[in-house]
A and B are shown apart, each in its own frame.
Chain A
Amino acid sequence: MESVLRTELEQLYRKHRQSLFSVALTVTGCSSMAEDAVQEAFARLCQKSEPPEGSLASYVFAAVRNAAIDCRRRQQHQRSITESIFASGGSDSQLSSSSTTANQNDETESLKSAIDQLDELSRQIVVMKIFSELTFEEIAGVLELPSATAATRYRRAIMKLEEELRRSS
């Protein structure tokens, strides 16, 4: 049973590692602390013998987020750093390959910047919804919110991003 759970955890880590790291990064603001948080969360998860009742993805995201909050509390005496959750140097998808103009690159950078400037909770919701494709119910489970609230916050975040992009363009 435990080995099955660990196999599932490993698969989940491989699939969502970037999103997990990003969620931790939105909390800690520091990549090294975020890595520590992810490791700590998985170390804790390894101690579990029983799988969670609900979604495993939601459970793991919640564990990573809680570990990141713990890390941030421990390191609160340090200066606050906020690192971007995005890789530097543009995107690696068809968007960047097809659009090579400086204008489009600027738009991409504006979008990244706008997402980085969202509040912590909204960034976490955007990451979990768009990059990890979690349902609002799962996201609500991670953030300990009603799913309707999670959905509303997501919609507001998207609207805010649209507005920011319109303003910047």
Chain B
Amino acid sequence: MSELELRIRALSLRTPDHSLDDRVLAALRQSDVTQPTELSTAEKAITPDNVGFSPALNTNRRGTVVTSGWIVASASMLIGTVVGNSLPSISSLQAQRNTSMNPDQTAGIVGFGRRESANGSVEPRLSEPGDSTVTGNVRVGSGSVASQIVESIWISPTAAAVAWEQQTGQIFNVVNHVSDRRFDMCRECHRVGG
């Protein structure tokens, strides 16, 4: 070593903080505790890995897992089918219930399908130009008003607006219905790009 190298060696390097020693030594000793050491022969003997399962037993266990998987999958499919089939039947049930409603019953509903004319007589409310931009386009077909309402609910979101008008007696305004969270049809409407 040259003189300069000796002089450099004589310098003292900066010493790390004592906390570093604690941290490093703790890490070394902690891993010593947490990581299991190699098992002795006696310990290995009682390890589950060393238990000799017979091939038949292994096959049986695998078979049980596969079978139970199939059972779960079949049950899920069955439940899905039942629920799926029940949905249309509920709608048709509602349709029947509403269709069977006679004009007197509908009149009992506040403002339902009725409007006062200029001369004071009550007449069924039909869409008029300027009332609603939706109803004019949707109100087609024949049959009772109630059946049209119910059918239209399941036909298109705009028909749902007609139904709402007739149920509430209010005029459906396309411009400001967007922020009106009371109506599920808004969501439907927007979903179809209305």
Is A1 interfacial (CB 8 A cutoff)?
A: yes
Is A66 interfacial (CB 8 A cutoff)?
A: no
Is A17 interfacial (CB 8 A cutoff)?
A: yes
User: Cβ of B73: which chain A residues have Cβ within 8 Å of it?
Assistant: none
Chain A interface bracket (under 10, 10 to 19, 20 to 34, 35 or more): 35 or more
Is B123 interfacial (CB 8 A cutoff)?
A: no
Contact of B13 among A3, A13, A87 (CB under 8 A): A87
Is A85 interfacial (CB 8 A cutoff)?
A: yes
Given known A38-B20, A130-B5, A158-B2, contact A6–B31 (CB-CB < 8 A): yes
- The answer on a CB contact under 8 Å between A1 and B11 is no
For B, the interface residue count at a CB cutoff of 8 angstroms equals 29
> Who on chain A is nearest to B8 by CB?
A130
Is A19 interfacial (CB 8 A cutoff)?
A: yes
Is A142 interfacial (CB 8 A cutoff)?
A: no
Contact of A47 among B10, B16, B19, B31 (CB under 8 A): B31
- The answer on a CB contact under 8 Å between A162 and B28 is no
- The answer on a CB contact under 8 Å between B20 and A10 is no
Is B41 interfacial (CB 8 A cutoff)?
A: no
- The answer on a CB contact under 8 Å between A35 and B16 is yes
> Who on chain A is nearest to B19 by CB?
A35
| Stretch in contact with the other chain, from B32-40, B92-100, B158-166 | B32-40
Expressed in whole angstroms, the Cα–Cα distance for A110 and B137 within the complex equals 94
Expressed in whole angstroms, the Cα–Cα distance for A10 and B8 within the complex equals 26
Q: Number of contacts between A and B (CB, 8 Å)?
A: 105
> Who on chain A is nearest to B24 by CB?
A42
Interface of B is mostly: helix
Smallest CB separation, B39 vs chain A (Å): 13
Is A105 interfacial (CB 8 A cutoff)?
A: no
User: Cβ of A117: which chain B residues have Cβ within 8 Å of it?
Assistant: none
User: Cβ of B38: which chain A residues have Cβ within 8 Å of it?
Assistant: 1
Expressed in whole angstroms, the Cα–Cα distance for A112 and B8 within the complex equals 8
Smallest CB separation, B143 vs chain A (Å): 72
- The answer on a CB contact under 8 Å between A42 and B27 is yes
Smallest CB separation, A15 vs chain B (Å): 13
Is B86 interfacial (CB 8 A cutoff)?
A: no
Within 17-53 of B, Cβ neighbours of A (below 8 Å) are at 17, 19-21, 23-25, 27-32, 35, 37-38
Is A147 interfacial (CB 8 A cutoff)?
A: no
Is B12 interfacial (CB 8 A cutoff)?
A: yes
The chain B residues found within 8 Å of chain A, CB to CB, are 2, 4-5, 7-17, 19-21, 23-25, 27-32, 35, 37-38
Query: Other CB < 8 Å A-B pairs besides A13-B25, A21-B16, A35-B20, 5 of them?
Result: A6-B29, A19-B13, A39-B23, A39-B27, A158-B4
The chain A residues found within 8 Å of chain B, CB to CB, are 1-3, 6, 9-10, 13, 17-19, 21-22, 25, 31, 34-35, 38-39, 42-43, 46-47, 83-87, 91-96, 108, 111-112, 115, 126-127, 130-131, 158, 161-162, 165
Task: Give me the 10 closest cross-chain CB pairs, A-B, nearest first.
Answer: A46-B31, A95-B10, A93-B10, A21-B16, A18-B13, A35-B20, A92-B12, A42-B24, A39-B23, A87-B12
